[in-house]
Chains A and B, each alone.
Chain A
Amino acid sequence: MIRALWSSAAGMKAQQMNLDITSNNLANVNTTGYKKARAEFQDLHYQTLKQAGSPVATGINMPEGLQIGMGVQTVSTNRFFSQGDFQHTENPFDLVIQGTGFFRVRLPDGSDGYTRDGSFTVDATGQIVTSDGYVLDPGITVSQDATNVTIATDGKVSQTVNNITEEVGQINLYKFINPAGLDAIGRNIFKETLASGPVVNGTPGLNGFGQIGQGILEMSNVKVADEMVNMIVSLRAYEANSKAIQTADEMLQIANATRR
């Protein structure tokens, strides 16, 4: 009996976590460069009361065992790096990666962060920074007198000062063999982990890296309808598990009422 109570409690917790992740996806539906996550579930361990295949008589084995499951666990949150929709902004520092890759930024603690959020801007010194002020790495400084800044699909940044166009830098892209293994630290920033594999550096448009688009932002890849359906499913599953707890409780009550 206690088994059923704990299994159902595990089920409720798992569905709660499912809803947590769904709500976070929905909360970030308008976050630039956000990549949706999904909770992955697994059945928990089994209590084996009878082993399948154990002999019951000479030459006869148990065809099926007696195993009682102990509920469910959330094993991971899988993040999907599929392309989000594009939004045209006409802002010269809004960049999009069309395909695979991340921009690299220098975090305040000196470590590297990776992001798909291309809503860059320039700081007081003319450096290209994220909206949080993290400097794009390798750093690119644009002149204050520049009338026009062009970023080509291969990441070359040029500025026009006094009708003279000159190249001021190159935006590189970075990729990982397993981007789902990156560590999300918030603010649209990911960090390298052992699971993501080592970072691979490249030029936009070459060797499988995506191209850079200027004046466009990548929206989140959250599909509202999918998340809504997911929400309904987790709610109903939560409800079913709560009913199982109620039933288990009622059974215990009946057992206690046996002795009057």
Chain B
Amino acid sequence: MFKSCNFKTFATFKSLFFLSNNIKVITFILLFISGRKIMIRGLYTGATGMMMEMVRHDIIANNLANVNTAGYKRDVAVHKDFSKMFLERLNEPPIQISDRFQLFRETPVGNLGTGVVTDAIAVDFSSGGFQKTDNPLDLAINGNGFFAIETEKGIRYTRNGNFTLNSDGELSTPDGFRVLGQNGPIRVAGNNVDIGEDGVVNVDGKVVEQIQIIDFEDRRVLRKTGENLFAAPYDAPVLAGSGKVLQGGLEKANVDLAGEMVKMITALRAYEINQKAVQSQDSMLDQAINQVGKTNA
């Protein structure tokens, strides 16, 4: 009984001795354990990097999946750095201004970034290649503008001109949504359909309708809704499209296969680097917790 008590006292004494000798290290450990501020911050920064590269790869995968979708416009991820924090060194020795005044100060250390975040996904509206199909109902727009499509949810816009006819002989998308002309749907009932550069539809030599080509002052307001369609806010300023209609051809997706592949490799490697950063933070924590803090090594 006495012996064990004596040993306990001795152990406490030993650890106290250890503490006093390693006071700096102990403070350091306390600092990061207390506020998740010193070490874990890096973990989160690395994780945001990994998450961002994931989103980037999601977008690349979607671009690649649509590499053969007519009229598809590729997406580009836009990133921004997460809010920065301003670091100051505390407990600096005060500056002696005069005999009576001391200036207590916090020396600025600088900005510390806390990671990255996907800010927006921009649509690249540049033109894709043209594929000749010789189908009279395949239309492409050479230049700026969109076809206006009447859907059950309102007017939508598309660059995909793989049109067909519905049972009433009206020009429509493969989903059955009607393509709009200046005065409404375009009825194409006849043998010879000839569509001019200005979108004027001639059926068997008679002018039927002119296809609407619409452009927007700011195309960034357009939102993809799937099915090759774009939706615009109702108050978006509209222009007449300056593009020329090409009959018998389709606009291919503007996805550059080689470019996407390179971006995919970059995303993968950047992901890997961020993982390594997380890993080394982890091993630093491991050192701090399991090695430095060892009391009876």
Which residues of chain A have a CB within 8 Å of any CB of chain B? 1, 3-5, 7-8, 10-11, 14-15, 18, 38, 40-46, 48-53, 62-72, 75-76, 78, 80, 82, 99-100, 177-178, 180-181, 194-198, 208, 233-234, 236-237, 240-241, 243-245, 247-248, 250-251, 254-255, 257-258, 260
CB distance from A4 to the nearest CB of B (A): 4
Residues of chain B with a CB closer than 8 A to A65's CB: 120-121, 223
Can you add 13 more A-B contacts, CB < 8 Å, to A38-B133, A52-B223, A71-B66? Answer: A7-B58, A8-B65, A18-B68, A43-B224, A46-B224, A52-B221, A64-B120, A64-B121, A66-B119, A67-B121, A70-B226, A72-B68, A195-B167
Q: Which of B55, B68, B162 has the most CB of A within 10 A?
A: B68
Query: Size of chain B's interface in residues, with CB distance under 8 A?
Result: 68
**Least Cβ–Cβ distance between B177 and chain A, in angstroms:** 11
Which residue of the partner chain A has the closest CB to B69? A41
Q: Are B162 and A40 in contact (CB under 8 A)?
A: yes
Is A1 a contact partner of B69 (Cβ separation < 8 A)?
Answer: no
Q: How far is the CB of B46 from chain A (nearest CB, A)?
A: 9
* Given A43-B226, A244-B264, A247-B268, residue A76 in contact with residue B174 (CB < 8 A): yes
Residues in chain B within 8 A of chain A (CB atoms): 50, 53-55, 57-70, 72, 75, 78, 118-123, 133-135, 160, 162, 164-169, 174-176, 189-191, 204, 218, 220-221, 223-228, 233, 257, 260-261, 264-265, 267-268, 271-272, 275, 278-279, 282
Shortest B282–chain A CB gap in Å is 8
B64 contacts A43, CB within 8 Å? no
Bound Cα distance from A4 to B58, whole angstroms: 4
Determine the distance from Cα of A178 to Cα of B163 in the docked complex, in whole angstroms.
11
Q: How far is the CA of A240 from the CA of B106 in the complex (A)?
A: 55
Residues of B within 8 A of A237 (CB): 64, 67-68, 257
A7-B65, A53-B233, A177-B189 are known contacts. Are A75 and B175 too (CB-CB below 8 A)?
Answer: yes
Q: Which of B64, B164, B271 has the most CB of A within 10 A?
A: B64
Jot down 14 A-B pairs with beta carbons below 8 A, ordered by A.
Answer: A3-B62, A7-B65, A11-B66, A14-B68, A41-B66, A43-B224, A46-B226, A66-B121, A181-B167, A244-B57, A248-B61, A250-B268, A254-B275, A260-B279
Which residues does chain B contribute within 8 Å of A43, judged by CB atoms? 62, 66, 69, 72, 224, 226-228
How far does the Cβ of B9 sit from chain A's closest Cβ, in whole Å?
40
Q: A64-B220, A68-B121 are in contact. Are A251 and B271 (CB under 8 A)?
A: yes
Contact in complex: B228, A42 (CB < 8 Å):
yes
A78 and B164 in contact, given A11-B64, A254-B272 (Cβ under 8 angstroms): yes
Question: Distance (Å) between the CB of B206 and the closest chain A CB?
Answer: 13
Chain A residues with Cβ below 8 Å from B72 are 41, 43
The residues of B that contact A82 with a CB separation of less than 8 Å are: 134-135
Q: Is the CB of B57 within 8 A of A208?
A: no
Q: Which residue of A lies closest to B123 (CB)?
A: A64
B78 / chain A contacts, CB cutoff of 8 Å: 64
**Which residues of chain A are near B267, meaning CB under 8 Å?**
247
In the bound complex, do residue B166 and residue A195 qualify as a contact, i.e. CB atoms below 8 Å apart? Answer: yes
| Residues from chain B with Cβ under 8 Å of A177 in the complex | 165, 167-169, 189
Measured between alpha carbons, how far is A243 from B226 in the docked complex, in Å? Answer: 24
- A260 CA / B226 CA spacing, docked (Å): 41
Residues of the B chain whose Cβ atoms lie less than 8 Å from the Cβ of A70: 62, 226
CB-defined contacts of A208 to chain B, threshold 8 Å = 190-191, 204
**A42 pairs with B58, CB closer than 8 A:** no
A14 touches B57 (CB 8 A): no
Q: Are the CB atoms of A248 and B228 closer together than 8 Å?
A: no
CA distance A255 to B271 in the complex (A): 9
Contact indicator B58/A15 (Cβ below 8 Å): no
A40, A51, A63, A233: the one within 8 Å of B174 (CB): A40
Closest beta carbon of chain B to A198's beta carbon, Å: 8
* A-chain residues with CB within 8 Å of residue B68 when the two chains form the complex: 14-15, 18, 41, 72, 233-234, 237
Measured CB to CB, the nearest residue on chain B to A230 is: B68
Question: Which B residues are CB-close (under 8 A) to A15?
Answer: 68
Tell me if A7 and B220 are in contact (CB < 8 A): no
